[in-house]
Amino acid sequence: MCGICGIVDFASNGEDFSHKIDSMVDVLRHRGPDGRGMWRCPSAALGHARLSIIDLSEGKQPMSNEDGTVWITYNGEIYNFKQIRGELEAAGHVFRTKSDTEVIVHLYEQEGIDCVRRLRGIFAFGIWDSRCNSMYLVRDHLGVKPLYYTVHNGRLIFASEIKGILAHGGVPREVWPEALSDYLTFLYVPAPKTMFKNIYKLPAAHWLRFNAAGDKVSRYWDLPHKQAWRGTRQEAESRLVETLGECVGMQLVSDVPLGAFLSGGVDSSSVVAMMATAGQSPLITTSIGFNERKYSELQYARRVARQFRTVHHEQIIEPDAASVVEKLSWHYDEPFADYSSIPTFYVSQAARKHVTVVLSGDGGDENFGGYRRYWFDLAERRARRLIPRFMRRWVLEPIACIYPKADWLPKPLRAKSTLGNICVDAPEAYCRSVGVLRDAAKPAFFSSDITACLNDYRSADVIRSHMEAAPSGNDLDQLIYTDLKTFLVDDILAKVDRASMAVGLEVRVPLLDYTMVEFAWSVPSHWKIEGNSGKAIFKSAMSGMLDRDLLYRPKQGFTPPIKEWLRGPLRDMAGDMLLGSSPRYADYIRPAAVRWAWNAHQSALRNNEPLLWAVLMFEMWARRFLAP
């Protein structure tokens, strides 16, 4: 992968953008340590930091067409580029390199911006077309690769990471109140917002066109309207294995060493099984674990590694390793409170010692209904339909309010949580299930200024908009669609991209090839969750390759023991940042509310780890990125 950036200003009066592009590329060098490049014209400039994966010698960027009228800066991998290249050569196009970058340039010449619909891969790129004085920014179908932009004083500035935009200089660093509200609900900021007001994420499967008339964002792909499956269950399982095998096979193309993340879970184990079937040799796998056995999956990863005779590497994360969070606050650019970012960074670092590219199992839960919360959400929806509204409002809701909290139970099993979810609509229940701070509780937590700015803003409306847009009326389909548009792209994929790019590692995701996602979407929902078991059809399809006890063991998250660390080895560091004098968060969040949450957590009256971690990450971010 690479780091890309650029500037477009139609009123620049011949300003030389070189020094600004140099500064922007400098802060993106971790994404592309193998080389850097720049191109400029009177109205535009492009920058590039390169991580060499394919065509190591000739794929330098920015790159142009033959006559220099079209220029591209590109981050990603196109897996079907050889097929497209053959078609273009037959049409008369002449290539100077063997890179997938040049294929995009020529395909754009041939088909215009609609060419993106032909691409299978993970990508984010900017194309400057001097023939129409327009810049196009494009992001891949599922949002695997990031792309940020702002329009400041009529100037478009874009980059792979927000820090690239900030390196341009002159861009205001102002907290976006609605983004802060979303963050303390979801622990990430959903697109198109970022924590910086007026800096945006380009949403997945969208392009932006910028010219003298202004900017316009358009969607180029979405899941199709759900149709009834035409075939048997056995045919669906065979198609699943065939599609996954094809996606894995396409993603094994590399001119540098390639391996896989292996957690021992269903998804990563299935990817490794397919890599072995495809003849990948050597098959290098990497796993991490914790000394706390209930958090570690190493024993399962070892079994899969032995079964497929991989060259296996492991690393144990110690409590003091959590000091890496300050480093991660730099790489994430905005507050990010998914604490599985810690093991993700360490497994990336460990893998990078042996390979430059890895395949991961991300996407299996979203495609095939693997999260346990799906089952509970579906049960709550059934109860919501059966229980009359007046009874939910006047009987269950008062009971939920006075029912004691049971933080020691898993969230879905807490009666207070379940009763409360039944009393609200589906989007609000979703937020309560995955979120930390409810909209109703925010006035007591935020400063008066932030509360005034938020007015009637509700983070639940973010979820509502996606549920209402889902091209299916099925309950599970709505949940999956919402996760694909929010949690997957802005939490899971953002986490993996920043953690891996911090060490110059490319991560590929065969389960998120858009053809795989479209197939999974076509599978009937009742084949995904059977009883209380998620990913039912996926597990059944993989039963010929993986042991049954591995496939059907309880799902285990990829998370470190933050609850214990905040009461132990991280207590002093976190306490100093959260409870010290003049914390940076105090302009936005009430210190008294944070102190109450801290004391309740330390006394074990409440498990406030998600909320405390979120504020801690915000504090680290504010110290680093906001003006003093």
Convert the pLDDT of each residue in 296-334 to its tens digit: 788 999 999 999 999 999 988 776 656 688 888 899 999
5 is catalytic: no
Residue 244 has a pLDDT of 98
Instruction: Please state the domain extents for the chain.
Output: 3-177+185-219, 223-423+470-557, 562-625
333's torsion region: left (phi>0), alpha (psi -120 to 50) or beta?
left
Asked if 285 contacts 305 with a C-beta cutoff of 8 angstroms, the reply is yes
Bridge-based pairing state of the strands 258-261 and 155-159: unpaired
User: 223-423+470-557 has which fold?
Assistant: Rossmann fold (3.40.50)
Asked if 589 contacts 445 with a C-beta cutoff of 8 angstroms, the reply is yes
Rounded-to-integer distance, Cα 61 and Cα 40, Å: 12
Rounded-to-integer distance, Cα 430 and Cα 439, Å: 12
Cα dist. 257→207, 216, 249, 360 in Å? Answer: 32, 40, 15, 15
Rounded-to-integer distance, Cα 365 and Cα 372, Å: 9
CB atoms within 10 A of CB 329: 23
Residue 559 has a pLDDT of 74
Bridge-based pairing state of the strands 284-290 and 258-261: parallel
Q: What is the 3-state secondary structure (H, E, C) of 168-229?
A: CCCCCCCECHHHHHHHHHHCCCCCCCCCECCCEECCCCEEEEEECCEEEEEECCCCCCCCCC
Strands across the sheet with 258-261, in order?
311-317, 284-290, 258-261, 357-359, 506-508
Q: Is the overall model pTM greater than 0.75, yes or no?
A: yes
Measured in residues, the chain has a length of 628
List helix spans (H) across 333-414: 341-352, 364-368, 372-386, 389-391, 397-402
| Amino acid letter, 335 | P
Q: Average pLDDT across each block of 10 residues of the chain; the chain has 628 residues. List them in order.
A: 93 87 96 90 94 65 94 96 96 92 96 97 98 98 98 97 97 97 98 98 99 96 92 97 98 91 96 96 92 76 96 83 78 94 93 96 97 92 81 64 54 63 88 90 95 95 97 96 98 97 95 98 97 94 95 79 87 93 95 96 89 97 88
Residue 569 has a pLDDT of 85
Residue 317 has a pLDDT of 79
Asked if 5 contacts 46 with a C-beta cutoff of 8 angstroms, the reply is yes
Please tell me the CATH code under which domain 3-177+185-219 is placed: 3.60.20.10
